Amino acid sequence: MSDRLRVPKLTGADVELGNFIEGDPRAASTAPVAARLVIAAIRARLGLAPPAGTTLDGGKNPHDHDRVFLGTLNSGCYYIDADHAEGCLPETLSAWDHVAWWQAMLRIAQRARDDVNAMLPTGQVLQLLADNSDGVVSYGAHLNVLVSRPTWEDIAHRKAHHAAFLAAFQVSSIVITGAGKVGADNSAAAVHFQLAQRADWFESMTGPQTTYHRPLVNTRDEPLCGRGTRATPARARLHCIFFDTTLSQVATLLRVGMMQLVLAMMEGGHIDVALTLDDPLGAVRAWSHDVTLTATARGMDGQELTALEMQRRFWEMAQRFVASGEAAEIVPRAEELVALWDETLCLLERRDWAALARRLDWVLKLGCIERALASDPSLAWDSPEVRLLAHQYASLDVERGLYWHFARAGLLDEVATEEQVRHAVSHPPTDTRAHLRGQLQRRFGHAVERVDWDHIVVRLSDRDGTTSSWRVDLPDPLDNGCAALARSAAPHGDIASLLQELGAVREAPAVAVKWRVAPGDVARIVAAVAGEIDHGDY
């Protein structure tokens, strides 16, 4: 057993949805209006007014505005990112819970869609798609995983082979995690159909960026889990931008669970440099563009491997890791995960497409399109109807969406029951920070000024009739707050005792600072920036 710092592989996700208004002739792109309508409908269901200072033109940050935390529901949130409604899951510990709360977040979006469509003019319909590309731009389905700070530093900065190992796992995983796509994107070679929607958009190995020159391994350092103290070792949040948005419950479960296992192995010091690729960026396109699963890529050991063969080697490592007991208390239900991973790989090795269609999005989508092509000789891969069929698979319209049709017919393997999904719509997970954040929002209601993943600010009346803002930091995503809530007898106890238990700090009033710059100083400032004078003068 390794003595390295290891932490439970808690996960979260932030997933952009495709959104547009069908039948609206007023604008070339209806995405901005569509996204705002979705958020407005969610707010209306929660009884919340629009955020202060915002208008229908959106907020100040085009990548993060109109954010609404679902404290009275499941402690997730929705906001607008670059004209897309984006749903963020509450923190979960098990991959099974991740699936349930992902399905719940989709259901919240579906209800908002229905509310909007009830008010739109006749002939106009708000459409939401769980996909990653509209043929022009790509938008993300980001998976966040809790890791130790040393593990994150090794991946992001210190050890190139750690990033290469993780990249090889992600790239080869598309045989399971791909959502399937008609055609190519981003000037990639033409192809009828490919496994992954994001594959053509990756252009670098590592980096913090998410919307351009996208890296296979993202190194954005936004922990949202504290920086650590002597008593509490530092943790980090690995922000993975690689994966597709999956609707299949089994594909989603494996996407999350396999990532948990691989990161847990890396955290324990289990890395095989032979399981790295000579050209991972070339490999992801080659493997994605080959639905026969026979394309190969060269490993750093010189051996040519298919994506399926590389996945089998990662599974063998994971199986040994779990059998050793090292995954205990780090990855929930690890034995079940490796068993399901193995079973799915076996189905892929046998090319059992009928069984795979029940659990993998790309297989089911490809089968739908191939049946349509076979039934109508006038159709071809470049027919608009074929692309429409692919989009229809991802539609959140429960009546027209192909995925929901197969789900209702009992043709898909599911891991979250209807009862679990309904529960996840209106309740946060009970074993993570999401529980405490949700309880605080319910407890303080309209007194809540600001909410973020790792803190909440409430404004309360003082005894002298004035009001003060109190900040409660929530640095530990593994702390569900039950102990503090119980000690303060929340939610019906004294507010002061609750704030004391949670270590709330009174925020200082904001002070406006006015800068006065003399005309002559402007030239000096510009010169300093240009490096033309000695900075020591300042």
What are the catalytic residues?
81
Q: Which of left, alpha, beta for 197 (phi over 0: left; psi -120 to 50: alpha)?
A: alpha
Q: Name which of 115, 290, 263, 46 is nearest 191 in CA terms.
A: 290
Q: Are 495 and 482 in contact (CB under 8 A)?
A: no
For residues 171-189, one letter each, b for 16 or more C-beta atoms within 10 angstroms of the residue's C-beta and e for the rest, the string is bbbbbbbbbbbbbbbbeee
Cα–Cα distance between 205 and 280 in angstroms, integer? 8
* 457: β partners: 450, 471
353 exposure class (CB count in 10 Å sphere: 0-12, 13-18, 19+): middle
28 exposure class (CB count in 10 Å sphere: 0-12, 13-18, 19+): exposed
Cα–Cα distance between 528 and 535 in angstroms, integer? 6
Cα–Cα distance between 9 and 468 in angstroms, integer? 37
Instruction: Give the number of C-alpha atoms closer than 13 A to the C-alpha of residue 156, restricted to the C-beta side.
Output: 20
Q: Are 141 and 102 in contact (CB under 8 A)?
A: no
Q: Are strands 141-148 and 181-182 parallel, antiparallel or unpaired?
A: unpaired
Helices (H), 118-220: 149-153, 160-172, 174-177
